[in-house]
Structure 1
Amino acid sequence: MDRSLSQAVIMAVAGAEGVDPIDLPPLYEAIDPDALDQLLSGDGVQVRLNYNGYGVTVDQRGVVGLESVNSESSQNQNSIDMRRVMETSREGMSLVRPDGTFSFVNSAFASLFGYIPSELIGEHWTVLYHNEEAKRLEEDILPAVRETGYWSGETVRLTKHGEARVTDHRLALTDEDVVLCTATDITLDRTATRFGAHNFDAMADEMEDSAFFALDHEGYVTRWNESAECLNGYERSAILGEHVSTFFSHEDRDQGLPEQLLETAKNQGTVTDEGWRVQNDGTRFWTELTMVASYDDAGTIRGFGTMVRESSESSANS
């Protein structure tokens, strides 16, 4: 079975149930993928399978219908059109054509970014990103989606009026290279959530002389306090979505120091490094940087809290 079709089945049922796709049982428990692949190799063939309480109709294009089989009234229910499922979902959902333009946007997705659906239909997906974050998707994330069929993580997107939104972002490759995108606004979570055993908000308040910012699991900025703005010279609206390597010298970036620190923090829980950092205007300053990793209950890395304190060593090393 083509991976894009299996992902289409999972995403369709998840959308109907209003749950995260990873919370559903494995699809292979419902059907033999190889047998289904053979059945769908011919033109005009449709296959119906039962999965997680739904009758799912699939053809070469992907999922074309859903029907509940758990309810006593299911005999009177017609197949649910997938566009209807997505339109009524409380989660933001959209479809992106191979050329990068939106072919479908539900109301939840559009309103998340201050649009109405008709304003986004036909627009390229980059309208929702600043240049560096768009480059990240184009060069790193989308190739991963085309290779594996699925990606999930956090991205920083822009509203119609240029405001940053940190989003829980999932991408799934459906039929004919069409990408199904879901989005949930987690901006407030990234501002106020407790990260595991470390309350980064409290740490930031207690360390008034330190700049504090939060990174996602790949090292991209998702939170930025006023002290960080003063010390590094970047306004919050300009730095959200940038990689932590932005603050390192060219020499350190060439040697891969930012990535080494992220990996050490991920594996050991925390890491501290003293060295030169670079402000927005190019000024170099000596700092002590500490990264503290955050994990979910399953032990998966969620992100990093980062404290930066200008060190008195700066005068000795200048």
Structure 2
Amino acid sequence: MPERPTVVIVDDSAELRVVVRSRLEASGLFDVVGEAGDGGEAMLLAHKLSPTLMLLDTSMPIMDGLEALPLVLAVSPDTKVVVFTGFEEVGLAIRARELGAVDLIEKSVPIDKLPELLWQHVGGGPEARPPRPGGLRIARGIDQAAARDQAALDEHLERYREVFHQAAIGMATMTLNGSIVRANSELAAMVHREPADLVGLDYGVLTRRHGDQLDDALARITEGDEELATFEHPLVTDDGASTLRVSLAPIRDSAGKPLYVFAQVQDITPEVELRRSEEMFRLLVTAVRDYAIYMLDVDGRVASWNAGAQNIKGYAADEILGRHYRVFYPEAEREARHPEHNLQMALREGAYAEEGWRVRRDGSRFWASVVITAVYDDAGRHRGFAKVTRDQTQQRAHEEQRRRAIEQQAQLLAITAHELRTPTAVIEGSVSMLREGDDLALDELSRLLDAMSSSAQRLQRLVADLSSASNMHADALALRPERLSLQATLIAAAERVRAVHPTARIGLDVAQDVDLVADPARVGQALDNLLENALRHGRTPVMLHGEPTEDGVRVLVSDAGPGVEPRLVDRLFERFAHAGSAGSTGLGLHLVREIARSHGGEVSYLPPGDGRRTAFAVELPSLPRAPGV
């Protein structure tokens, strides 16, 4: 007697495997040599047993039938694989045959017909009939059991059909690990594919690198016993990008075990855009710290409060909510009912904007730019006011600095014009007299030459001051420090001045010579300016005194003059501070201060009194350090 064909049954439902096995063995046509509940196990049994035929379910939790089918045929090429499915889907049958299946049998087929359908693939083709006598060898009393088993299969299929056909949105049925076995036309249109093209496709391919969300949702259904799992993912097609929401629900057997997964798919792009817009607005309002953005009720009481409002005004939300916004205004404006006026203007015009002083919680003031907008609901009812405030104190200070800089530039031009006028007039007049006076006396000629020389020196000082100020602005007084002797530095400064003013009386006193590290050119420039200032505006003799201090050196430049005019003392070291027509550009002392500060030191003015001469004191550290350290 020839050997009967061997069969391996693969289905994740043990109950169904029992039913199918009993029918196949009862037919007397097959030997069932193995069972498996997963595609991976099917591949191992195919390799081990090389069965004549394998009945392979489509939906299994770890590896479904469509995934396992090529692997089974790879390890056992002679095995005939019949896909056993609960789906009536032409596309699924086509896909199964493309992967190598010899047939696709729906689970809705009467169970007593199953052996005959399988025999066609192992007994000689579609016209083959199973051996006689008596057709299939069905045990007595089997009809009642067959009817009961068939009812279970029909119930299994009907549950799926009801859910699938009642859905009015994009939907699909998947295996337990996400392969699509059936898709409706709505889903196919949503993803710009044909329904048949989706069969056998892992839905994760459509999620654009969000397959982990699909896997997590499937695990919650198959392992966590959840009845609904939802996730969202982007979808990119030729028409652009959209966002889909996928709701997964398990289809279970009578024992509660999941058989398949039903997916409902919705295009929620408009909802996502609205949600994103609302979220961005919420983040803008609540997180922005440069603007106070809050709501007032119809009476002007604070109804909402963002981080920017707390940052600018100093109130925490629980301290200000419910209070009238009058508290932000200076007392004089509150008394004049200016806050109420602003709300009336916003109500009348729709919006009102102004700039002015406002008061923080700690009582300090800041310059605010304010916009108040009346807010209405869809029915046109007035609901309150939206108020946006920005702290413009720094901007106002910068604008004030800009205004002062413009004034200083105009002042510099005026001073420069004044400084140029006198020496150029002297030079021009002297040259004219020299051209016209052939018989000038020697002393008169000498006076003209002295006047020209003095005017030229005055022009040179002007050029030097302007150049130094420009360089200081350009390179922020870059230093090239060296080790210096205090005594040698002061001697060199005195000699330079004597070369320009040979008759000037300049005394030098160094109590103790010490070394310091400083930029010799910059320090020399500062000393030259102080000595020149003493000779021009003070009285000789001029004294140059140096002494060590606890952390550096101190240099005093003093003269016998009456000192600086009281009106200039407070701004003596500012740029362009000068004493009128006799005062030059007013840049010299400013340069001295910047040079001292760039080394980490300072310069100060010491007025005369109590036997003390007019003096300027320069303090320098032994080593340069950052200003203010």
TM-score higher than 0.5? no
Larger RCO, structures 1/2 (Cα 8 Å, 6+ apart):
1
Structure having the larger proportion of residues in strand? 1
User: With structure 1 as the length reference, what TM-score do the two structures score?
Assistant: 0.43
User: With structure 2 as the length reference, what TM-score do the two structures score?
Assistant: 0.24
Structure 1 or 2, whichever has the larger Rg, is 2
Structure having the larger proportion of residues in helix? 2
